[in-house]
């Protein structure tokens, strides 16, 4: 089974980790690191844990893909959020 998303995700969000592990997705690719809430890039390295037996092996993780573009989209999103408040 191959999963595809048309949504740009700048980091592996903690809320997506259960989905990734449950479906045994073998590779995760993301663009931008996040210090505090990333499921792989923060103190909460949930994506890389092998301490949950039901999850099995951790997926391969590749970061920094289209990093500049991800940062630009992230900034645009933040500006739009500020404008709507």
Q: Is 48 helix (H, G, I), strand (E, B) or coil?
A: helix
For residue range 5-48, what is the model confidence (pLDDT) as tens digits?
Answer: 444 455 667 778 888 888 888 888 888 876 666 677 667 778 88
Ranges of each domain in the chain: 14-84
Q: Is 22 helix (H, G, I), strand (E, B) or coil?
A: helix
Local structure of residue 42 (DSSP, 8 states): S
For residue range 42-68, what is the model confidence (pLDDT) as tens digits?
Answer: 677 788 888 888 888 888 888 888 899
C-alpha 13/C-alpha 42 separation (Å) is 10
Beta bridge partners of 38: 13
Q: Taking phi first (over 0 means left), then psi (-120 to 50 degrees means alpha), and beta for anything else, what does residue 4 get?
A: beta
């Amino acid at each position: 089974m191959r999963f595809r998303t048309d949504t740009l995700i700048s980091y592996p969000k903690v809320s997506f980790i259960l989905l990734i592990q449950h479906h045994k997705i073998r590779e995760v690719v993301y663009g931008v690191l996040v210090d505090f809430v990333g499921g792989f890039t923060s103190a909460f390295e949930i994506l890389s844990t092998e301490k949950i037996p039901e999850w099995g092996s951790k997926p391969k993780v590749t970061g920094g893909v289209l990093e500049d573009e991800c940062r630009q989209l992230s900034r645009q999103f933040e500006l739009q959020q500020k404008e709507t408040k």
